[in-house]
Structures are given as C-alpha cells and as structure tokens.
Amino acid sequence: MKAEGSGIVSRILVDAKEDAESIIVEANKLAEMMVEQQKELGRQKASERVSSVLNDAKNEVGLIQRATFTQTKRKAGWAILSEKDRLISSVIGEAKLKLVDLEKTEKYVPLLEKLIVQAGIVLGGGSIQVALNEHDSKLPLKFDKLAKEIEAKTGAKTRLEVSRERLHVSGGVTLRTPDGKVVVDNTFETILRRREIDLKPRIAKVLFKE
Amino acid sequence: MSGALARIVEAEKQAAEILNEANIRAQKIKGEAEENVQKAFTEAYEEAIATAEKEAAHLRKTARENAEREVESALGEVEQQIRDMQSKARKNLDEAANAVLAEILLSE
C-alpha cells in the first residue's frame, strides 16, 4: 500500500510539472506569435511608404540617365562644333596670308584692278575715290583704263582718284563717292569676312575629307 | 486519514501550486508580449523603410556612377573624333586655303 501510494504521488507531481511546462511553452508560442503578427503588420503598414521611396529613387535614376544623355550629347556636339569652327577659321587665316603673299606675284595687280572695277560698277561710276594701303599705292595701276571699263559697264562718265588716305589692311581696295556717303569695301579682310559664312561649308568639305 | 492518502492530498496540493505558478508565469509572458508588440510593430516598420531607403540610395549611387562612366566614355570618343578632325585639317589646310583663294579670286 505504501509503494502504491508513492507511485500515485510521483505521477501527480510529474503530470503537474508536464502540464506546467506545456502552459509555459504555449504562453511563449502565443507571445512569439503576437510579436510576429505585429512585425508583419508593421511591414505591411510600411509597404506603401517603401513603394514610394523605391519609386522616387527609380524616377530619379531615370532623370539622371536622361539628363546625362542630354548633357553629354550637348557637350560633345559643342566640343566638336567649336573645334570645327576653330579649324575653319584657321583656314581663313591661312587664306589671308596667301592673299598677302599674292602681292609679291604678277597676279596681284590684275586682281587689284579687278577689285577696283567691280567696286566702281557697284558705285555706278562717276567721281570715285580709291583708297589703298601704302604698298599698293605704289603699284602701277592703270586708273584711266579702269575708269573706262567702269564707264563701259555703267554708262556713267567715270574718274578714279587715288585718295591720300592709306588703308591699314593687308591688301585690297576701298572705293567711295567724294562725299563719302557710299563706300564699297573690297579689302581682303572685308572680302573674307563677307564671304566667311558661305565659304564655311566649302572649306569644311575640303578640310575634313579623308 | 491514512499516511498514503495524506501524501496524495499533499501531492495534489503541490501539483496545484505548480500549475498555479505556471499560469502566473504564462500570464507574465503574455503581459510582456503585449508590452512588446508596439515596439515590434515600430521596429519592423522602421526597418522596412530603412531597408528601402538604403536600396534607394544604392540605386541613385549606381545611376550616378554609371552616368559618370558614360560621360567619360562619350567624351573619350569625342576627343578621338576631334583628334581625327585635327589630323585631317593638318593634311588638308593648304588645299582648303587655296580653295578659298580660288573662290574669292574667281567671284570677287
């Protein structure tokens, strides 16, 4: 009877301990579940803001890409154009040097005379003053013959008079009416400047060919 | 009451105490969990946003780095194009200047 009683006692205590342990385990599980549920709720609540943060970043990435593309294209285009322009201008400079060199050749006087006649025709003949640089003023220009050529083209009696004024240009000529109201500038500098815009495409064609 | 019965009654009393203690502890665990749920919610919320912000910063940084690389590469190509242009220009300068001269002498 004593041994039997002792067995029941230990059974009661073991069962109680097992039940107690189970109560604690369940409580821990429930606690863990409550915390996990709240974590999940927290993540769900954050999801809207998370989407917004990521979308903003993706939009910004798109903007960065487009801005970079545009800026790079513009910079590249500008760099190429600016260098092209510089190289084309160097051709104009070189052409000016060649024009100056031309004055040392026999082609120069006929060229100067041609420029005088052209300007004289533009002025419509009449009394015309011809301004030259120091070097050109000493050249043997046949003004009477040139005046006749202008006369023949314009029908107006023409007289060319060399001005005392000396031009500070590399070459060419300036013609004006005696009152100075109408001037035709056929100096090399002005001719090149006048023709620069329409010469540029032709220069580019020759300059950048293979 | 016999000795055995008394031991059983005593054991049942002990068992009840054990269960009572377990219930008290379980209540405490639940109570603590209830106190922690708000913290868990806030932490999870903030962590999710912090992760997204970190990812967003990474996206922006990568985009900027890629953009810088693209710019460098494009400008490198432009520099090469310019060198090619300069090389052609050096070769053709005299011919181009003569063409200008011819144009002017013919038309002026």
Of all residues in chain A, the one with the smallest CA distance to B3 is A2
Residue A77, burial from CB neighbour count under 10 angstroms (0-12, 13-18, 19+)? exposed
Domain boundaries, chain B: 1-79
| DSSP for A75-109, written as a single string | HHHHHHHHHHHHHHHHHHHHHHHHHHHHTTSTTHH
Residues 10-69 of B with CB under 8 A from A: 10-12, 14-16, 18-19, 21-23, 25-27, 29-30, 32-34, 36-38, 40-46, 48-49, 51-53, 55-57, 59-60, 62-64, 66-67
pLDDT confidence band for A104 (50 / 70 / 90): confident
Q: Which of residues 62-101 of B touch A (CB under 8 A)?
A: 62-64, 66-67, 70-71, 74-75, 77-78, 81-82, 85-86, 88-89, 92-101
Contacts 24+ apart (CB under 8 A), A25-32: A26/B26, A27/B25, A27/B26, A27/B27, A27/B29, A27/B30, A28/B29, A30/B29, A30/B30, A30/B33, A31/B29, A31/B30, A31/B32, A31/B33, A31/B36, A32/B33
State residue A4's pLDDT score: 56
User: Shortest CB distance from B19 goes to which of A20, A76, A83?
Assistant: A20
Model confidence pLDDT, tens digit, residues A86-102? 999 999 999 989 988 88
Which residue on chain A is closest to B10 by alpha carbon? A9
Grade residue A107 by pLDDT with cuts at 50, 70 and 90. Answer: confident
State chain A's mean pLDDT as an integer.
93
Structure tokens at B66: 């890629």
- State how far Cα B2 lies from the chain centre: 75
**Interchain contact, B23 vs A23, CB within 8 Å:** yes
A195 neighbourhood in chain B, CB within 8 Å: 103-104, 107
Minimal Cα–Cα distance from A125 to chain B, Å?
18
Please compute the mean of the pLDDT values over residues B94-107 and round it to a whole number.
87
Q: How confident is the model at residue B1 (pLDDT cuts 50, 70, 90)?
A: low
Q: Which residue in B26, B40, B97 is closest to A95 by CB distance? A: B97
On chain B, the residues whose CB falls within 8 A of the CB of A95 are 97, 100-101, 104
Q: Which domains does chain A have, with CATH numbers?
A: 103-207 (3.30.2320.30)
Q: Pairing relation of β-strands A127-133 and A172-176?
A: antiparallel
Query: Residue A183: which of A119, A134, A90 has the closest Cα?
Result: A119
- The shortest C-alpha distance from B15 to chain A (Å) reads 5
Percent of chain A topping pLDDT 70: 98
A53-89: per-residue pLDDT in tens?
999 999 999 999 999 999 999 999 999 999 999 999 9
Across the interface, do B57 and A57 touch by the CB < 8 Å criterion? yes
Q: What is the pLDDT of residue B105?
A: 76
